[in-house]
Amino acid sequence: MIVAISILQVLIMMGLPFALLVWLGRQWRPWPIPWGLAGAGALAWIGAEVVHFPLNSGLTWLVRHDLLPRPGHAWQGVYNAVILGLTAGLCEELARFVVLRFWRKRARSFREAVVLGAGHGGVEAIFFGGLAALGLLNVLIASSMDLGAAGLSPEELAAAQAQLAAFYGAPAWSPLLAAWERIPSVFFHLALSSLVMLAVVRRRAWPLAAAILLHATADATSIYLLPRAGAVLTELAITASMPISAAILWATARRLPAPAEDPDRPVARPLAPPGAPAASGAPVEVWHAGKVYPGGVRALDDASFSIAPGERACLLGPNGAGKTTMLRLLVGALAPTRGVVRLFGHTAGEPGFLAAKRRVGVVPQSPGMYRDVSVGEHLRLVQALYGRGDIPEVARALGLTDVLDRPMAQLSGGMQRRFAIAGALLPRPDLLLLDEPTVGLDPVAAHDVQQYLGTVMEGRTTLLCTHNLAEAEDLCDSVVIVRGGRVLVHEPIARLRARVAPEVLLRARQGPAALQAELARLGHAPRAEDDAVAVTLPEPEREVPALLRALLGAGLDVYETRIVKPTLEDLFLRIVAAPDAPAPPPDAGPPAPAPARSSDVLA
């Protein structure tokens, strides 16, 4: 009976890692099991042990030769347990960190952390399962032979017989106790791997320190308890770590990205959910899109709009409204948590998405660049990737001709922005996505870039994200206003402006008080503005002449009359400041470029 259960023990210990990886693959379909990452976790454990055993031997030698402090006899057990636990924690968690930081640099998600932990803890289970199998084989061989005739010394014979008696006299369930220990141990390794991954992703030291401390505490507790409290209580202490492991996994899962949300890689799967509208082929389609980052940070919430061919739209909103997230969704750098985002009728992961991206020029908010490559080399790389583009023409238009041979590390901030625009415009794209294209430029350079953009945007679909409302008004003919991740308005600027009655600004020699009193007597609601008075007139071209005659007839010397139409900044502030600004209502497909509800916002 004890032999059969010992065989079961070996099968459990050596089969557990493979069963765990297969189960993980089934839970996360269609995500394939990354056996290579599990192997990296296994190599991390092996590398840690290669360092761990010599390190313990060296520390033992130092203690024996009084080169390290030796505690009193009463504290010797605690001292040994702490030292052994601490060296194990340091070696294994630092090995995990090195693998993730310097080798498996693409692994940055929660799932990948779990697989790394499964490989790390799994190879440990296989190692101890192999030791158990070897011990069982030795017992079976010794049981089948005549030990008295084996040429053993009396002491060796007595030791062998005692070991056989201890094995066959042990409770039948005792091998299963060792097999059970591997389950909470592997679970613990999953949690520790997620902490180390969090340290790498967030670039924080405390998750790595926490992993080392937890590992050291668990090992030290087991080492101290086993000779003093016995195997059963030690295994109970190991099992008690499972709720701690579960809490760590729950917390890190909320802070680490899933593979589809990993910001370091493009999405590789279609995103259109059931019930999504058919693609219209418009350059930009956003249908009830939402984006929630790890940790519950909501960047977009049910955002919908579409950009028609040739439309020049500006994407406006306060800081944190979700504008940059929207642009990253459009180019496939992020996946929406819900909804649909399309470029020229294709979602990220569809066969035609790459061809759609080749029709797009992007000016990112913080352009990345190879700092040791020259401007000309970088532009030639862009030209080769797109298969088109006139480098001298773009360089001349943006004032880069004299710096084509200069490494980009030597460019000023303004020149770097010019280069980013040049890279986006070089392949003559059908759609331009511009994220703060003139930020960091001096006024003269910004004016030159705006003029060039005005030329290249003519007849070309554009989505411009900017905080410069004068720039947006000059370059764009429609506006998409976002607040709190929701699209409040998508409408032509001219139509928005028509919804707000213009004001007439008047100045009289008698001063604003006399002018304001007379306007009130004539039935208007004047508003003082410095040394002038503003009055709202729905049709100023028709109403101003009669108003002037009335004011002059009343003895007021009006010397200035000026019609003031609302600027885009005025319209933007009205919409964003509205306490209950509505979003476009849900519908069966992407909304038209001009939802009618925007009139409620401006009322």
Domain ranges of the chain: 2-261, 284-496, 498-602
Residue 28 three-state SS: coil
What does the alpha-carbon distance between residue 455 and residue 451 come to, in Å, rounded to a whole number? 6
**Greater confidence, 594 or 277?**
277
The pLDDT value given to residue 153: 72
Segment among 136-145, 303-312, 450-459, 499-508 with least mean pLDDT: 136-145
pLDDT mean over 197-219? 90
pLDDT in tens, 519-540: 888 888 888 887 888 888 877 7
Q: Tokens 């080749």 sit at which residue?
A: 358
What does the alpha-carbon distance between residue 103 and residue 118 come to, in Å, rounded to a whole number? 17
Phi, then psi, of 560 in degrees rounded to 5: -150, 130
CATH topology assigned to domain 284-496:
Rossmann fold (3.40.50)
Q: Look at residue 162 and tell me whether its pLDDT is greater than 90.
A: no
Q: What is the mean pLDDT of the chain?
A: 80
pLDDT mean over 183-209? 90
**Greater confidence, 394 or 140?**
394
Instruction: Give the distance from CA 177 to its chain's centroid.
Output: 42
Phi, then psi, of 528 in degrees rounded to 5: -75, 140
Q: Which of 424, 373, 416, 415 is CA-nearest to residue 394?
A: 424
Whole-number percent of the chain with pLDDT over 90 = 9
Residue 31's pLDDT band, with cuts at 50, 70 and 90, is low
Q: Which of 197, 218, 202 is CA-nearest to residue 124?
A: 218
pLDDT mean over 78-99? 89
Q: Look at residue 268 and tell me whether its pLDDT is greater than 60.
A: no
List CB contacts of 213: < 8 A, sequence separation 6 or more: 89
Quote the tokens at residue 284.
């930009």
Q: Look at residue 468 and tell me whether its pLDDT is greater than 60.
A: yes
The pLDDT value given to residue 5: 79
Residue 577's pLDDT band, with cuts at 50, 70 and 90, is low
pLDDT mean over 271-275? 53
**Greater confidence, 28 or 16?**
16
The pLDDT value given to residue 190: 92
pLDDT mean over 45-51? 90
Residue 193's pLDDT band, with cuts at 50, 70 and 90, is very high
CB atoms within 10 A of CB 61: 11
Q: Look at residue 251 and tell me whether its pLDDT is greater than 80.
A: yes
Q: Which of 238, 242, 240, 204 is CA-nearest to residue 220?
A: 238
pTM equals 0.49
Instruction: Give the distance from CA 10 to its chain's centroid.
Output: 42
Q: Look at residue 579 and tell me whether its pLDDT is greater than 70.
A: no
Q: Do 498-602 and 284-496 fall under one CATH topology? A: no
CB atoms within 10 A of CB 203: 8
pLDDT mean over 392-413? 85
The listed range with the strongest mean pLDDT (186-190, 363-367, 406-410, 578-582) is 186-190
The pLDDT value given to residue 195: 94
What does the alpha-carbon distance between residue 476 and residue 473 come to, in Å, rounded to a whole number? 6
Q: Look at residue 354 and tell me whether its pLDDT is greater than 90.
A: no
For domain 498-602, the CATH class is alpha beta
